[in-house]
Each structure stands twice: as structure tokens, then as C-alpha cells.
Chain A
Amino acid sequence: MDPLFQSMSVSASGMTAERFRMSLIANNLANVDTTNSPGGGPFQRQEAIVAERSSDVWAAAPTGAVDEPLLQGDSSGAGVEVVGVRTDTTQGGKTYDPGNPLADSHGYVQQPNVSSISEMVDLMGAAQHYRANVTAIEDAKSMATAAIGIGKIA
């Protein structure tokens, strides 16, 4: 595949990963006060684990510059993918609320380990990184447009 289309694919994988992070962050924020989760206990925040995608995804694609094989291959990178979701098992704070049915024998209710401030910071980071990937695609697009224009009769 043409390296420009490959770089668009790479940036698209970055956008997908960032969108997934944002959906987890949104879920964490929505559950910032959830003291009772389906598995019992308070909600536990989740975060995405991302890793570099294997270059095997290019293996099926025909290569473009046949006389320059060194410009192809594993070293160029194939983007990013979400490899898992980690559940943060650290304990959140406790609030004193003896009337709550979830309160323990001392009257304390275990709160979720979600900090809305740090989630907002992560959300902004993910959004910014998403935009950065969009810009990289725009750049690759402008490069392809410039290549199309070579030899154009003015």
C-alpha cells in the first residue's frame, strides 16, 4: 500500500484508540457517584491499555515501491490498538452516611475511586490527541494532493 494511505490508516487507528479511551472516561465520569455496581461494591474506574499494532496488518497489502524494499516493512509502524481494559482496583474514599443501606457497621459508605478532575484532564488529553491524529491525516491528504498535481498542465 502506498505509504501515504498507510499513514492515514495509522492515524485512523490512533483516532479509534482515542475514541475508545474517551468512551471509558465518559463511563467513569457518569459513575462518579455510583456506590453500588453489578459486581457488588462501588464502581471501579476503567482505563484502556493501548499498544503498538503489529506490522502484520500490512503483510497482505501489495507494496508500492518495488525497487526500494527498505522503505517498506516492519520498521515503519502500523498504528495503535486497544489491547485491553484495566480496572483500577484502588480504594476510593469513604463517606459517613449511616442511613444509607450500603453503609458498613460503622456507618461509612465506600465511594468509587473516580476523581472527576483527573478524568476531565484525561478527557481533554484524549480529545487533543484525537485532533492531532486528524491533523496528521489532513497533512497526508495534502501530500497526496500535491503528488497528484505533479506534471499538471498549468
Chain B
Amino acid sequence: MVDGAMMIPGLTEVARALSLHAFRQQVLANDLANAHSPGFVARDVDTTSFADTLDQTLSLRPSDASAAPISTADQPDSGVDTIVTAPVLAGSEGSGVDPDATMAEIAANALSYQAIATAAGGEITLAKTGLMG
């Protein structure tokens, strides 16, 4: 990540979350595009630990609200690089893709991305207030 981002607390985490969602969007778009490919097995980013990271980053959990600000050092190892093969569903045309479920995931992913982008804007506004008063 860019060194300058370290000046603004939380921005590094937000940037990581954004690049994750952008990556996941590509994986899901690939699932959707291959809905008619015979033998294709749908893939997805392993979001189990990712969701934890996201919650922590955005401080959505009530239990984490009082926690100390997250620094890069204690950031948990998110499973962002893990691609898991989803169980083969009774998809259309012999592929393991459920187009409707994939569409829902794509829409939710895009919405999360926009939410995080808004959060990033908030971080920058805060930093600017701190700098300029």
C-alpha cells in the first residue's frame, strides 16, 4: 500500500477491503459468465475470515466499538487470497453455477464496496478536519 496512506489511520484497512471487493467482483463475474460452461465449478473468495476483518475495520460489532483503533500490526490475517470451490449446485446447463444466487452476491458485493468507499471518504474527511481544524 502507499506509504502516505499510513498517515490516515484506518485508510490502509479500507483500501484493503476495497481491493478485496474488487477482486471478489471479478471472481463472481467469472462465475456468472460461465453459467453455461459444462463442468465449470463456481468459485468464490473465502469470506469467513474476510467478514470478520470487514466488521472489525468498519467497527460494526458492538463489542468492538470500544476497542482500540486497529493498526496494521494487529490486523488479523484475512483469508483474502483463498479461493474455495463452492459445492456443486443443481445449476443450469451442467455447470455448478446458480445464476440467481450469483447475481445476488454480485449486487451485495457492489453495495459493500460502495459502503466501504463512503467509509474511506469519511476517514479522509476526519483526517482533513484534524489537519486544517
Q: Does B bind A?
A: yes
On chain A, the residues within 8 Å of B92 by CB distance are 125
A-B contact count (CB 8 A): 143
Q: How far is the CA of A120 from the CA of B55 in the complex (A)?
A: 46
| CB pair B99 A132 closer than 8 Å | yes
Name the interface size band of chain B.
35 or more
* C-alpha spacing A146/B109, complex, angstroms: 13
Also in contact, A140 and B29, with CB within 8 A (given A21-B36, A51-B37): yes
Interface string of A1-30 (1 = CB under 8 A from B): 011101110110110011001000000000
Q: In the complex, what's the smallest C-beta–C-beta distance from B68 to chain A, in angstroms?
A: 25
Q: Is the CB of A129 within 8 A of B22?
A: no
Interface residues on A, range: 35 or more
Residues of chain B within 8 A of A13, CB atoms compared: 33
- CB of B121 within 8 A of CB of A149, answer yes
Given A70-B81, A132-B99: A146 and B113 interface contact (C-beta under 8 Å) = yes
Residue numbers of B with Cβ under 8 A of A are: 1, 16, 18-23, 25-38, 40, 43, 80-81, 83, 92-93, 99, 103, 106-107, 109-110, 113-114, 117-118, 120-121, 124-125
Listed A/B pairs (5) with beta-carbon separation below 8 Å: A4-B22, A50-B34, A51-B38, A140-B25, A146-B114
A7-B30, A129-B32 known; 19 other A-B pairs, CB under 8 Å? Answer: A3-B19, A3-B25, A10-B26, A11-B33, A13-B33, A51-B40, A68-B16, A80-B30, A129-B35, A129-B36, A133-B33, A135-B107, A136-B32, A139-B106, A140-B110, A143-B25, A147-B117, A150-B120, A152-B121
